[in-house]
Structure 1
């Protein structure tokens, strides 16, 4: 079992992450946080804990440095910079491929809000490495033209009361180049704060990753 704070080099900066890998692990899930969030997001940490009970490792990483986060809080200049976030996700995927504990493990991407758009762009750039992409209340539409290049299975999870995001997910789903499923959590709003809503997200994501791993092994 690995459980430690790690640093991922990206050019002349380093990103801070929390790496947890059970033994044995079947895959590692890399989390892409949404606008204004971080690796400390209680919602993503709750989902990550559920995934680890299913034998999946997790890497929750800050895609912005502390200085960038402070500036973004005021200006909002980085949270919609999908190209920047995707480049840093790609660097994190590549880092997992050389880390001894994870180099043989398939990677799943879990994106929330704007992080979903960045995750899909990164998946399009690393098709041989990324097994699947899961989006929670995400903005897959922000991936733009990269959607057509995403060939691996994609799961889009949205709240039943999150009308605008449902519409954006439906539109993005039509552009995806590979198999995809849209799951609606009844009665849930954008942050899945309703009782039991986030648990449904975690269970659905865990089951989806298990199915993708079984299909890849079969």
Structure 2
């Protein structure tokens, strides 16, 4: 990665302003949108750490809030929005439509990185925008909340779960049977739901980078060398 450009943006969709952080390496191999959930925001330290590692692999990242400031404050009081999957997926779809109108970003192949309830929104958006979304990664995500959309997803899906996150693993394993596209259930040994254990979030970032670089096509010359990343294994693979 030769250089990187950082931008603070305000994305207006449907009369709502969503603050965003864009990091664009030069050259960039693709653009990964981070879909937060369960009351999180663009300032999530875990997603920011993963984003930095993706940037090092020449992947642009867009971290944005799915809720307005007023909605976020209300959600902190009663949690009413964090499980509103219809609202979260609608906001994500609106941001994907906004991307198409941005000349400097529209040409980049798009991947989605979803966490918690944001993973469900990411999968629904992938089902609704099969030509735009090229790959999806879920980190400790509630993929089960995507419902019938799981069977309509065409982008390759990587589901990353800690072995100590037993309930999410059970829900994800059952729900993933509805996925008809290429997918992998990757287990991170010794990690709980938030991957706070030493080195576990780095494993998440490595797996995500490998998945995106495998499935996001290069927008420019094929002769350009790709950064070295760790490969992915078979389905339901412990790591």
Task: Provide the TM-score with structure 2 as the length reference.
Answer: 0.88
Cα gap change, 1:98 to 1:215, in 2 (>3 Å): closer
Greater helix share, structure number: 1
Question: Which residue in 1 is equivalent to 2:93?
Answer: 90
Are 2:22 and 1:29 aligned?
no
Query: Which of 192, 199, 224 is 1:196 aligned to?
Result: 199
Task: Find the residue that maps to 1:100 and give its secondary structure.
Answer: coil
Tell me which residue corresponds to 2:153. Answer: 150
Map 1:13-92; keep pairs closer than 5 Å: 13-92=16-95
In structure 2, C-alpha distance between the alignment counterparts of 1:191 and 1:52, rounded to whole Å: 21
Question: Which 4+ residue blocks in structure 1 deviate beyond 4 angstroms?
Answer: 214-218
Please tell me whether the aligned partners of residues 113 and 139 of structure 2 are also in contact (alpha carbons under 8 angstroms).
Answer: yes
- Aligned counterpart, 2:216: 213
Quote the Cα distance in structure 1 between the aligned partners of 2:166 and 2:147.
20
Of 161, 166, 169, the residue aligned with 1:166 is 169
Distance (whole Å) between structure 2 residues aligned to residue 47 and residue 101 of structure 1: 23
Q: How far 1:215 sits from its partner (Å)?
A: 9.3
> Which residue in the other structure is 1:6 paired with?
9
Larger radius of gyration: 2
Q: Give the C-alpha shift of residue 123 in structure 1.
A: 0.8
**Alignment match of 1:101 (pick from 98, 101, 104):** 104
Gaps of 5+ in 2: 223-239
Using the TM superposition, give the Cα deviation of residue 214 of structure 1 relative to its aligned residue in structure 2, in angstroms: 5.3
- Aligned partners of 2:217, 2:102: CA distance in 1, in Å? 24
In 1, Cα distance between equivalents of 2:219 and 2:39 = 35
Distance, in Å, in 2 between the alignment partners of 1:131 and 1:102 is 15
Deviation at 1:14, TM superposition (A): 1.2
| SS in structure 1 of the partner of residue 135 of structure 2 | strand
TM-score by length of 1: 0.96
SS for the counterpart of 1:22 is strand
SS of the residue corresponding to residue 188 of structure 1 reads coil
- What is the number of residues matched between the two proteins? 218
Per the alignment, do residues 7 and 131 of structure 1 end up closer, same or farther by CA in structure 2, a change over 3 Å counting? same
In the alignment, the residues of structure 1 paired with residue 94 and residue 5 of structure 2 have an alpha-carbon distance, to the nearest angstrom, of 21
> Which digits, 9 at most, give the CA deviation of each residue in 1:8-63, with x for residues without a partner?
12111111100111111111000001202110000000000000011110000000
| Residues 169 and 216 (structure 1), Cα distance of their counterparts in 2 relative to 1, 3 Å cut | farther
